[in-house]
Amino acid sequence: MRLAVIGAGAVGRSVVELAGEYGHEVVAVADSSSAVVADGTGGTGGPGSDGRAGVDPDAVAARKAERGIVGDDDPADALAADYDVLVEATPTTLGDAEPGFSHVTTALERDRHAVLANKGPVAERFGDLRAAVDDSDGEIRFEATVGGAIPAVSTVEDIEPGHVTAVRGVLNGTANFILTRMAAEGLDYDHVLAEAQDLGVAEADPSFDVDGTDAALKCVILANVLSFGAVDDPTDAREFTLEDADVSGIRDVPGSALRLAAEDGRTVRLIGEATGEAVRVAPRLVPENGTLAVSGTQNIVQIETSHAGRLNISGRGAGGPETASAVLGDVGRLE
């Protein structure tokens, strides 16, 4: 498959780097201010050093590191390039979910596929996306949006959404790291947050993670998969957005609450739950040694099925290569 990678952050750069290993070719890369297009439409990337027609991943990485750009083209050129699959890896935005939403619909209008790492469009405008897919020969996939490397969406699809009664889990590594450290060290939130920021586990503004928004977006996406997947006619499906989620975060959980939980063999985890009817994210009490009490930045997804009991999948919920592996898995499913 020929890929256009939109967004050259941790995820986009890893997709560019690893695509060759999966047998795909990157024909265009864009960041917020520049692009490189390899197919002779004015690109500076030119044929890769291995003689293939794609952009040279090393050259892209080097330019991004040294000059902060990926090439001398305009980002719009990457969108117009001759690709089979557009990889959307720009920042997750809420509300209209732009520019990610338009990047995806541009691909669909051209009857190309799109694979998203960006949660915004699938969480905030699932119905609009479905409508755009219906009018296109292209498809969308978005495994990377939920639980990074964990195959949550495709497992739900394999089981069939109509036979999945609920999906729950730990879907934010930053919040989980903080709760794990608070419990282990008996420290308060502020101390552990500072430590997490030093380690690069939490961002300077950690709100998205610690207030539960990120986990809620993932659950909203799962709720959409369950709701739309269970009906024949999409107009019968209930569409979820972040507004439909009941969300509370971990910011004010005192260290004393974790100590009380530990005395009783329990701990607190930020648990997200999605069904085709509701989305809820909140700190919850779970058994200290239970399946859901994953530690550090680990994530876990627990799928409740009608005929096959419960499935648990744990793993790395974030990171460039981890997320890129989910993106490239999706690309493979589109072949």
Partner 1 sequence: MSDRRDGAPEAALDAEDAAAPVDGEGGDAPSPDGGHAAATPSTHTVRLELVDEPGQLLAALHPIADNGGNLLSIYHERGNKTPRGRIPVEVDFEATPERFEEIVDALRSEGVNVMQAGTERYAEEVTLLLFGHLIDTDLSDTLSRIEACESASVADVSLAAPQGTEEASSARLRLEARAGETEAALSAVRELATEKELRVVEPLTGVDA
Ligand X SMILES: NC(=O)c1ccc[n+]([C@@H]2O[C@H](COP(=O)([O-])OP(=O)(O)OC[C@H]3O[C@@H](n4cnc5c(N)ncnc54)[C@H](OP(=O)(O)O)[C@@H]3O)[C@@H](O)[C@H]2O)c1
Q: Is 11 annotated as a binding residue?
A: yes
Closest CA to 292 of 321, 267, 274: 267
- CA 253 to CA 283: how far, in whole Å? 8
Question: Strand 113-116 vs strand 164-170: parallel, antiparallel, or unpaired?
Answer: unpaired
Indicate the residue among 179 and 221 with the shorter CB distance to partner 1: 179
Q: Is residue 285 within the footprint of partner 1 (CB under 8 A)? A: yes
Contacts of partner 1 in 161-220 (CB under 8 A): 168
Catalytic annotation, residues? 218
Residue in the block written with tokens 């799109």 = 114
- 95 contacts which partner out of partner 1, ligand X, none, CB within 5 to 8 A by kind? none
Q: Is 95 annotated as a binding residue?
A: no
Q: Is 8 annotated as a binding residue?
A: yes
The CB-of-318 to ligand X minimum distance in angstroms stands at 3
Q: Is residue 222 within the footprint of partner 1 (CB under 8 A)? A: no
- CA 145 to CA 226: how far, in whole Å? 15
Give the end-to-end CA distance of the chain in Å, rounded to a whole number. Answer: 7
Q: Is residue 110 within the footprint of partner 1 (CB under 8 A)? A: no
DSSP string, 261-320: HHHTTEEEEEEEEE-SS-EEEEEEEEETTSTT---TTEEEEEEEESSS-EEEEEEE---H
- CA 207 to CA 298: how far, in whole Å? 19
Q: Is 320 annotated as a binding residue?
A: no
Site string for partner 1, 233-262 (x = CB under 8 A): ---------------x---xxxxxx-xxx-
The CB-of-238 to ligand X minimum distance in angstroms stands at 24
Binding residues for L-homoserine: 203
Contact positions vs partner 1 (CB under 8 A): 168, 248, 252-257, 259-261, 263-264, 266, 268, 271, 282-287, 290-293, 302
Binding residues for NADPH: 119
